[in-house]
């Protein structure tokens, strides 16, 4: 059963660009432009795209904050914009950079408020809280004021707060941003278990490809308000023809290096950036550069999510629909 | 599901949501006890100095535009109680533009509680009681000092005045703040109408030009907070010569203000949800 149904959804904004005091030009910006996808119950989907691609506009429409300008939307069977309050009880939202916890009060108090605002029956509240406390290791933190928690602890606290009312859909916006490795791992483990055991549908926006590799069976890439890719993660790498970058420092400034199968992306004094296909080994390339140029130092950079997306977009003559 | 329930149940839920969130903020602020006590004391002191200015004025004159000190004190007290109550309950809506900018309003919209209740309770502080303490003290003194024949209709009119006045100021707080849905930095508009209006109402209407008084009757209907009903309680002539019915029309004015505020809030929220800014 599809929990999220999005059918040709559009959302445009009118932007006023003022160049005079009185005369202003109106321009229509299409933030989301004919988006269509479905998410089945229990799926965990990565939703990625460059800044300004339309990710948060989509999430705002899915939560009912924003009313779409066209198309059809259903979340858990209801129209989000028309039944925002009813939907609020069935979704959980976590913003990585903004906490919904009460800064000056013990962590436990934020959960007590959620119990009352979401009208969670006592037995269910206790069971859910116990589960979150155990899996997220919150036992020692419940009586600590939130302001004294570390970023990782707070993130775990926020996750628990979003799940106490058993939402059927969980939206996560950058849930691992700024966290240390241990917290990241704990958060991912918890999300994986919640998704598996509770069949909670998860929609995750992130800039961290590892989040997606470890959690999501499916990735949707949005750019300029349209889906440019929707499929398993491997497809993302294949479609993007990902490139790695070899950064070389030469003894002196040189004209751009010319080698077969390599694009020289950037030259900055003695430093040059060489792009080559991700599947190809870096060793022969390094040898070739060292043979012909006075090589001093080098490093290899893995593809960033933005670059992968940029390549998909550049490669697609017609955006996939 | 809340929105399928009756109007009464929804109103009850709106009040309960406000109460739950205001209580959280009050407890948050109380964790800084010394800061709370100091700011409450400062609040009471400053508001008492405010009234002291009025007393000083009356040391040089027996009457202010024909009104005695207890009469002026009655206007001061009623205006301050009405504004203080409104500020206590919904004063936080004035920061609407800021909540929009910080994204806090979005967070409120995804909780299953009325957004207006959440906004009104945001950053609630018991410090606001300071203004009310002073207002009730001045009102109490003026009631004792007034030279009025306390017939039952006059006695009943005092609580009715306070109730309607508070409702009018609540509506003005909400209605004027809604402008910030369109102009995010227009918080001063709301401030000048509420706080400025309250200062106006603290003085006898005869002090001001007739056009100003007419503006508070037919424009932003602040005259219904205390000026008009006070004419009946104090047995004074109407400087505008309006029909006597106006003195008893405060409940009607309060209802109309509430309606206007509700319309403004709904329109503003609709505009916000279709522009996201």
Query: Are A65 and B113 an interchain contact pair (Cβ–Cβ within 8 Å)?
Result: no
Which of A81, A91, A104 shows the shortest C-beta gap to B28? A104
Q: Are A114 and A89 in contact (CB under 8 A)?
A: no
Lowest mean pLDDT among A133-147, A221-235, A240-254, B9-23: A240-254
**Cα nearest neighbour of A28 on chain B:** B275
Is the Cβ–Cβ distance between A137 and A190 less than 8 Å?
Answer: no
| Overall average pLDDT of the B117-123 stretch | 96
The total number of residues shown for chain A amounts to 321
The alpha carbon of residue A67 is apart from the nearest alpha carbon of chain B, in Å, by 5
Looking only at Cα atoms, what is the longest distance across chain B? 63
Kindly state whether B118 is in contact with chain A, defined as any CB-CB distance less than 8 angstroms: no
Partners of residue B106 in chain A, C-beta under 8 Å: 60, 65
| pLDDT score of A97 | 82
**pLDDT value of residue A20:** 58
Q: Show the domain range for B245.
A: 2-275
Tell me which residue of A281, A320, A266 sits closest to A36, measured CA to CA.
A320
What is this structure's pTM?
0.85
Residues of A in contact with B24 (CB under 8 A): 102, 105, 109, 113
Nearest CA distance, A86 vs chain B (angstrom): 6
Counting residues of chain A whose pLDDT is more than 70, the rounded percentage is: 91
pLDDT value for A317: 44
Residues from chain B that touch A105, judged by Cβ atoms under 8 A, are: 24, 27-28, 31
Sign of the C-alpha dihedral computed for residues A225, A84, B168 and B100 taken in this order? negative
The pLDDT tens digits of the residues spanning A271-304 come to 999 888 877 788 888 888 888 888 899 988 767 6
SS (H, E, C) B157-177: HHHHHHHHHHHHHHHHHHHHH
Tell me the pLDDT tens digit for each residue of B171-181. 999 999 999 99
Tell me which DSSP letter residue B193 carries.
I
Q: In chain A, what residues touch B275 (CB-CB under 8 Å)?
A: 13-14
Task: Work out the angle at residue A58's Cα, subtended by the Cα atoms of residues A114 and A87, and round it to the nearest 5 degrees.
Answer: 35
Q: Are A233 and A213 in contact (CB under 8 A)?
A: yes
- Residue B108 burial by Cβ neighbours in a 10 Å radius (0-12, 13-18, 19+): buried
pLDDT tens-place string over residues B61-101: 999 999 999 999 999 999 999 999 999 999 999 999 999 99
- CA of B106 to nearest chain A CA: how many angstroms apart? 7
> What's the rounded mean pLDDT across residues A167-193?
91
Strand partners, A218: A45
User: In sequence order, which residues have a C-beta less than 8 Å from that of residue B255 and are 6 or more positions away?
Assistant: none
A110-119, A238-247, B102-111 — most confident range: A110-119
Q: Is the pLDDT of residue B1 over 50?
A: no
Range from A204-213, A214-223, B130-139 carrying the lowest mean pLDDT: A204-213
Contact state of B275 with A14 under an 8 Å Cβ cutoff = yes
Q: Please, what is the average pLDDT of chain A?
A: 88
pLDDT at A240: 60
Say whether the ipTM exceeds 0.95: no
Of chain A, the percentage scoring pLDDT greater than 90 comes to: 54
Q: Please give the interface size between A and B, counted as residue pairs whose CB atoms are below 8 Å apart.
A: 73
In this complex, is the C-beta atom of B3 within 8 Å of any C-beta atom belonging to chain A?
yes
User: How many other CB atoms are found less than 10 A from the CB of residue B140?
Assistant: 12
Whether B274 has its CB under 8 Å from any CB of chain A: the answer is: yes
CA-based nearest distance A190→chain B, Å: 23
Distance from CA of B143 to the nearest CA of A (A): 42
**Interface mutation target, options A63, A65, A162, chain B, most CBs of B under 10 Å:** A65
- All residues of chain A having their beta carbon less than 8 Å from the beta carbon of residue B109 are 63-65, 84
From B2, B20, B276, residue closest to A66, measured CB to CB: B276
- pLDDT tens-place string over residues A59-103: 999 999 999 999 999 999 999 999 998 999 999 999 878 889 999
Q: Phi then psi for B31, rounded to 5 degrees?
A: -70, -20
Sign of CA dihedral B46, B51, B52, B53: positive
| Closest CA in chain B for residue A30 | B275
Q: Residue B2 has what pLDDT?
A: 46
pLDDT exceeds 90 at position B15: yes
Q: Which residues pair with A170 in a beta bridge?
A: A92, A202
**Sign of the alpha-carbon torsion through B200, B202, B207, B212:** positive
For A228, phi and psi rounded to 5 degrees? -100, -15
How many angstroms separate the CA atoms of B4 and B14, rounded? Answer: 14
Q: Is the pLDDT of residue A15 over 90?
A: no
Q: Which one of B31, B110, B114 has the shortest CB-CB distance to A104?
A: B31
Give the DSSP H or E segment for B238: none
| Rounded CA separation A212/A172 (Å) | 12
Minimal Cα distance from A111: which residue of B? B24
Of B2, B24, B275, the CB nearest to A102: B24
Choose, out of B3, B30, B112, the residue to mutate when testing the contact with A (most A CBs < 10 Å).
B112
Mean pLDDT of the B235-262 span: 96
Neighbours of A139 (CB within 10 A): 10
**Contact yes or no for A227/A251 (Cβ under 8 A):** no
pLDDT band of residue A239 (cuts 50, 70, 90) is low
What confidence tier does A49 reach under pLDDT thresholds 50, 70, 90?
Answer: confident
| Residue numbers in B near A86 (CB within 8 A) | 1-3, 112
Q: Could you give phi then psi for residue A244, rounded to 5 degrees?
A: -100, 165
B61: contact with A, CB 8 A cutoff: no
Please say whether the beta carbons of B137 and B73 come within 8 A: no
What distance in Å separates the CA atoms of residue A286 and residue A296, rounded to the nearest whole number?
12
H-type helices in B65-179, by residue range?
69-90, 96-102, 104-109, 115-121, 129-145, 152-177
Q: Which residues of B touch A118 (CB under 8 A)?
A: 112
Q: Cβ of B24 under 8 Å from any chain A Cβ?
A: yes
Is A100 in Cβ contact with B2 (below 8 Å)?
no
Residues A5 and A73: beta-carbon distance below 8 Å: yes
What per-residue confidence (pLDDT) applies to A320?
A: 44
Query: Which positions in chain B touch A95 (Cβ < 8 Å)?
Result: 103, 107
At residue A21, the pLDDT reads 63
Quickly list DSSP for A151-213. HHHHHHHHHHHHHTT--SEEEEESTTTT--HHHHHHHHHHHHHHHHHS--EEEEE-S-HHHHH
pLDDT for position A318: 46
CA distance B76 to A283: 85
Contacts of A66 in chain B (CB under 8 A): 273-274, 276
Please indicate if any CB of chain A lies within 8 Å of the CB of B275.
yes
Overall domain count for chain B: 1
Of B125, B128, B144, B127, nearest in space to B77 by CA: B144
Q: How far apart are the C-alpha atoms of A47 and A160, rounded to whole Å?
A: 22
User: What DSSP designation does B248 have?
Assistant: G
Looking at per-residue confidence, does A314 or A140 come out higher?
A: A140
Contact B231, B247 (CB under 8 A): yes
A129 φ, ψ (degrees, to nearest 5): -65, -45
Which residues in chain B have Cβ-Cβ distances shorter than 8 Å to A117? Answer: 17, 20, 111-113
User: Would you give the DSSP letter of residue A316?
Assistant: -
């Amino acid at each position: 059963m599809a929990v999220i149904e999005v059918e040709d959804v559009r959302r445009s904004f009118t932007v006023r660009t003022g160049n005079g005091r009185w005369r202003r030009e109106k321009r229509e910006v299409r933030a989301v432009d004919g988006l269509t996808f479905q998410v089945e119950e229990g799926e965990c989907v990565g939703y990625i795209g460059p800044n300004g691609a339309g990710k948060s506009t989509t999430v705002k429409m899915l939560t009912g904050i924003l009313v779409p300008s066209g198309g059809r939307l259903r979340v858990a069977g209801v129209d989000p914009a028309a039944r925002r309050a009813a939907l609020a009880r069935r979704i959980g939202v976590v913003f990585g950079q903004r906490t919904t916890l009460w800064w000056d009060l013990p962590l436990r108090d934020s959960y007590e408020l959620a119990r009352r605002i979401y009208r969670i029956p006592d037995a269910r509240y206790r069971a859910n809280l116990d589960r979150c406390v155990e899996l997220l290791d919150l036992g020692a933190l419940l009586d600590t004021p939130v302001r004294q928690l570390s970023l990782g602890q707070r993130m775990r606290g926020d996750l628990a707060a979003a799940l106490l009312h058993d939402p059927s859909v969980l939206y996560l916006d950058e849930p691992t941003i700024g966290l240390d490795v241990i917290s990241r791992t704990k958060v991912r483990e918890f999300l994986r278990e919640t998704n598996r055991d509770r069949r909670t549908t998860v929609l995750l926006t992130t800039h961290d490809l590892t989040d997606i590799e470890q959690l999501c069976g499916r990735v949707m890439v949005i750019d300029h308000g349209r889906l440019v890719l929707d499929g398993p993660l491997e497809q993302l790498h294949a479609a993007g023809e990902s490139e790695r970058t070899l950064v070389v420092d030469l003894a002196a400034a040189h004209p751009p290096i010319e080698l077969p199968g390599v694009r020289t992306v950037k030259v900055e004094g003695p430093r040059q950036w060489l792009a080559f296909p991700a599947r190809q080994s870096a060793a022969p390339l390094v040898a070739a550069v060292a043979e012909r140029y006075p090589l001093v130092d080098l490093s290899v950079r893995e593809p960033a999510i933005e670059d992968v997306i940029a390549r998909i977009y550049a490669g697609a003559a017609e955006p996939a629909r | 599901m809340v929105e399928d329930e009756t109007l009464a149940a929804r109103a009850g839920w709106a009040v309960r949501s406000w109460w739950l969130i205001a209580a959280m903020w009050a407890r948050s602020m109380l964790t800084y006890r010394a800061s709370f006590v100091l700011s409450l004391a400062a609040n009471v002191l400053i508001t008492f100095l405010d009234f002291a200015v009025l007393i000083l004025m009356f040391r040089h004159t027996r009457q202010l535009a024909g009104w005695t000190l207890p009469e002026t004190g009655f206007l001061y007290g009623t205006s301050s109680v009405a504004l203080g109550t409104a500020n206590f309950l919904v004063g936080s809506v004035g920061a609407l533009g800021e909540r929009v900018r910080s994204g806090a309003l979005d967070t409120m919209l995804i909780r299953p509680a009325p957004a207006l209740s959440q906004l009104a309770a945001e950053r609630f502080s018991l410090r606001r009681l300071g203004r009310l303490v002073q207002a009730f003290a001045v009102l109490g003194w003026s009631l004792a000092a007034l030279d009025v024949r306390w017939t039952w209709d006059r006695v009943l009119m005092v609580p009715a005045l306070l109730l309607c006045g508070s409702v009018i100021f609540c509506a003005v707080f909400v209605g004027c703040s809604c402008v910030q849905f369109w102009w995010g930095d227009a918080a001063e508009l709301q401030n000048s109408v509420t706080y400025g209006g309250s200062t106006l109402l603290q003085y006898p209407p005869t002090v001001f030009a007739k056009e100003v008084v007419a503006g508070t009757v037919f424009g932003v209907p602040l005259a219904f907070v205390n000026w008009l009903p006070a004419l009946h309680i104090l047995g004074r002539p109407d400087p505008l010569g309006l029909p006597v019915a106006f003195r008893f029309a405060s409940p009607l004015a309060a209802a109309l203000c509430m309606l206007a505020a509700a319309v403004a809030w709904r329109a503003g929220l609709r505009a916000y949800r279709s522009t996201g800014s």
